[in-house]
Amino acid sequence: MTGWFACLPDQPAVVDGPSDADAGLCATGVAFPSAFEAPHRVFSMPLGVDRRGASLSHDELTIYFGNSTTSSGILYPSRIHTAIRPRRSELFVNSEEWDVNRLAGQDFPRFSDDGKTVVFAGITENGGYPHLFFSSNSGAPKPLALNLDGGQFELNPFLRMRTNGTGELYFAQCTNGSVDNCDSDSTDQGSRDLFRVSIRNPNLGSTDAFSDAEALTEINTRLENEYTPVVSSDGLEIFFGRSGKIFRAWRNPGERQFHDVEAAEGLLAVGRAPNWLSPDNCRLYFQSSETQTTPGIVDIWVAERKPPTN
């Protein structure tokens, strides 16, 4: 499979996906959301395959994700894979490697609204520190020109880039500690925090592409890790991982900071981290180690919540 879902000349009709009338159906703000219902895996393929950092097309029929392979007990760096399904009610079956894989390892692909730019975490050599890269129109990966003050490496990007080239990029940054501590979802070292930058230039490799990085101090904690930020389509709700669990926070229109941080109701199991939220804000896709027997292996799940009742 080649090309990106939003770059295809002829878009297929949405089958069993969100409609314009559904947009913002489960959005927060004034109305408090309902709890998520029992989740389920989105792949029918066997367990033991490592899938993480999922991102979907707006109709939720195409999925992109990081896929690691294991050989002789060694987990090799992730490669971005993609899969399709005919309708949202069905599981994904077969996947194949995506043609943008040109680094030693890549995962957490995140697309701009027009589908022409993808941001992802990548390493240039086995065992190296991960950093954030981008690719435009299926071109060669290039490093993001982030203005960072310290930190060892960046990972877990989440992109909100509008068709006019503006927007925001959220990501996790390792601020201290070893690579193992920073890459662990359950460490109590507090070495991974969430940051945000504003996008000022659609050429993400330009020196003026981003504002200075801003720590999400209303979310970050001193003794725990925060990671995998996912922001709703209306920008009012954020999900993130914290030491093995999914948390959420929200803000009112016009507010810069999020508030009311709490565990995501209905998603309290340990070993989960959010990946992607549907455009109507009703379905949260997340990675989870539940039902896996190999340490470090996760798979993609989805949970749905009903619109709030007033």
What is the model's pLDDT at position 258? 96
pLDDT of residue 32: 57
Nearest residue to 303 (alpha-carbon basis) of 274, 277, 283, 276: 283
CA distances from 285 to 57, 133, 271 (A): 12, 23, 14
Report d(CA 120, CA 80) in Å as an integer. 9
The rounded distance, in Å, linking the Cα atoms of 256 and 268 is: 27
pLDDT at 24: 57
171-208 residues labelled b (16+ CB within 10 A) or e (exposed): bbbbbebeeebbbbbebebbbbbbbbbebeebebeeee
Averaged pLDDT, groups of 10, the chain, 310 residues long = 34 34 55 79 79 95 87 66 95 88 90 93 82 90 85 88 93 74 55 93 94 95 92 94 93 93 90 94 93 79 84
pLDDT at position 177: 57
The C-alpha atoms of residue 176 and residue 167 are separated, in whole angstroms, by 28
CA atoms of 25 and 207, how far apart (whole Å): 38
Mention every residue, 6+ apart, whose C-beta is less than 8 A from residue 233.
23, 24, 27, 277, 279, 280, 281
Helix (H, G, I), strand (E, B) or coil at 135: strand
pLDDT at residue 8 in the model? 30
175's tokens: 């601020």
The full set of domains in the chain, from first to last, is: 24-304 (2.115.10.20)
Q: Which of these, 199, 121, 124, lies nearest to 156 by C-alpha position?
A: 121
Listed in sequence order, the residues at least 6 apart from 191 whose beta carbon sits closer than 8 Å to its beta carbon are 174, 175, 176, 177, 181, 182, 225
Given this model, what pLDDT does residue 26 score? 78
